[in-house]
Amino acid sequence: MFKKVLIANRGEIALRILRACKELGIGTVAVHSTADETAMHVRLADESVCIGPPASSESYLNIHQIVAACEITGADAIHPGYGFLSENAKFAEILEAHGITFIGPSSAHIRTMGDKIEAKITAKRLGIPVVPGSEGAVNTPQEAKDIADDVGYPVIIKAASGGGGRGMKVANSADEIGAALNSARKEAGAAFGDDVVYIEKYLANPRHIEVQVMGDGVSRGVHLGERDCSLQRRHQKVFEEANSPALNEEQRNRIGEICATAIGDMGYSGAGTIEFLYENDEFYFIEMNTRLQVEHPVTEMITRIDLVNEQLHVASGNGLSFSQDEVSFMGHAIECRINAENPRTFVPSPGTISYYHPPGGLGVRVDSGVYQGYKIPPYYDSLIGKLIVHGRTRPECLMRLRRALDEFVVGGIDTTLPLFQDLVTNDDVIAGDYNIHWLEKYLAAKE
């Protein structure tokens, strides 16, 4: 096992990783920008290194500074968390060259899955169902029209280097193809410096269902069930649950086994998530995230497996500590992403937390790096914490979530807590009857 791990991240996820390291007796190094000197992950780490000014590009994304911090402190591995450098193949490669372990998959796997066209081709080859569409890049309107005629309208044109829901355009008929192709290209070029696009069938009302996988880096893969992340705003997840209210055990095992086999065949190392759209009983691969996800705790709650502990286990060369037979699902878990934002306009609300009282009790988990008196800096993502609740059944989980939300008090700033208090009393949410458009429609109707 590692002696010392450097955590190249901030906020709740830095703390989450730190906790797993502490339990294993691994030394921890926090890195931070000048804006994060008082952050909880810095206070709780064994050592900390300031790596630059507030702007992420000069601190949390500054590879040179992070590698230097690793060398100064003698850390033997880096955990990248999510976001920042977690899916940067070049970063993983630089660490490989420096003899520092990157806690994640190989740079080759990050690179393949980071290119959506490559990822889709790879997924298809591994037996994962994909959205019907072009085999690769699409260059001319005629090519796009030919494919659209084949798969049927509407179609969606997507950026090969896409992320965060950008560079995507829907075309409802042949007349709209030319304009959609042009604007998707332009947006992709501006956002990602790469205007390569591809085309696929646009699914009207799917759910977003993703499968958590882990690989031993040689030939064995396991799955830890799915998460339903259909409640989204601007393609960003807001509320996640495991298991999905839409799947039964047979469907769960079927898609899980396909993913586990694929991960084993790839020789994938560590944690990953295979994301699908799900409609009319069919799964359609959209992308793979080669890292730990924000919503990983709901999986931990129902499997009782610590995913970060397992990442450390695999990355240190010890393989997977459990087999598929040892994975079982118990009860139901829901996560609410608490953002420092106005709950109606979603305008960020940085500032000082004047009062902080997180909920507690049976089945309640709060992953957060904030505390009373903490000043939220304005430079980063507005996620300030995650409330994760577990129950033996989905109704029990929802009941407990309502109680926990009522207990949760954050003073001095706006948060999205009131949004969740509304959602957990909504009939569709209670019934688990929603798709990826549900939340946007709900919010629009409230305006």
Stretch that binds ligand ADP, among 42-50, 197-205, 243-251, 409-417 (CB under 6 A): 197-205
- By CB neighbour count within 10 A (0-12 exposed, 13-18 middle, 19+ buried), where does 357 fall? exposed
Binding window for ligand ADP (CB under 6 A); candidates: 176-184, 201-209, 312-320, 350-358? 201-209
- x/- track of binding to ligand ADP for residues 163-192 (CB under 6 A): xxx---------------------------
Q: Is 141 exposed, middle or buried (0-12, 13-18, 19+ CB in 10 A)?
A: middle
Q: In the annotation, is 291 catalytic?
A: yes
202 lies in the binding site for ligand ADP (CB under 6 A): yes
- Which residue, 123 or 263, is less far from ligand ADP as judged by CB? 123
Name the minimum Å distance from CB 176 to ligand ADP: 15
Smallest separation (angstroms) from ligand ADP to the CB of 210: 9
Residue 147 lies near ligand ADP (rule: CB under 6 A): no
Pair 279, 204: CB distance under 8 Å? yes
Least distance to ligand ADP, CB of residue 326, Å? 30
Residue with tokens 């948060």: 415
Number of CB atoms found within 10 A of residue 247's CB: 21
Structure tokens at 151: 């798969």
Report the candidate in 40, 47, 35, 39 with the shortest Cα–Cα distance to residue 6: 47
Query: Which positions ≥6 away from 117 have C-beta within 8 Å?
Result: 136, 137, 160, 196, 198
Biggest alpha carbon–alpha carbon distance for the chain: 62
Stretch that binds ligand ADP, among 46-54, 64-72, 159-167, 404-412 (CB under 6 A): 159-167
* Closest to ligand ADP by CB, 201 or 400: 201
Q: Which stretch binds ligand ADP (CB under 6 A): 194-202, 250-258, 363-371, 385-393?
A: 194-202
Strand order in the sheet with 168-171: 168-171, 155-159, 197-201
Alpha carbons 410 and 315: distance in angstroms, whole number: 37
Q: Can you spell out the DSSP letters for 413-440? A: S--SHHHHHHHTT-HHHHHT---TTHHH
Select which of 207, 252, 291, 394 is catalytic: 291
What is the C-alpha to C-alpha distance for residues 328 and 398, in angstroms, rounded to an integer? Answer: 21
Asked if residue 198 binds ligand ADP (CB under 6 A), the reply is no
Q: What angle do CA 241, 113, 316 make, to 5 degrees?
A: 80
Bond preceding residue 348 cis, omega within 30 of 0 = no
- Residue 315 and residue 217: Cα distance in Å, rounded? 9
Q: Is 208 in the site for ligand ADP (CB under 6 A)?
A: yes
Residue number with CB closer to ligand ADP (177 or 286)? 286
CB nearer to ligand ADP: give 303 or 435. 435
Judged by CB under 6 A, does residue 350 bind ligand ADP?
no
| 200 contributes a contact to ligand ADP by CB under 6 A | yes
Residue 363: both structure tokens together: 């089945």
Contact call for residue 199 and ligand ADP (CB under 6 A): no
Residue of the chain from 66, 119, 131, 314 that contacts ligand ADP (CB under 6 A): 131
235 is an interface residue for ligand ADP by CB under 6 A? yes
Least gap, CB of 338 to ligand ADP (angstroms): 21
**Among the residue ranges 84-92, 155-163, 183-191, 220-228, the one whose residues contact ligand ADP (CB under 6 A):** 155-163
- Site size toward ligand ADP (CB under 6 A) is 17
Distance CA 199, CA 185 (A): 12
Query: Is 200 or 335 the residue whose CB approaches ligand ADP more closely?
Result: 200
User: Does 156 help bind ligand ADP (rule: CB under 6 A)?
Assistant: yes
User: Tokens 């304005």 — which residue?
Assistant: 378
Binding site for ligand ADP (CB under 6 A): 131, 156, 162-165, 200-203, 208, 235, 275, 277, 286-287, 436
Residues tagged active-site: 291
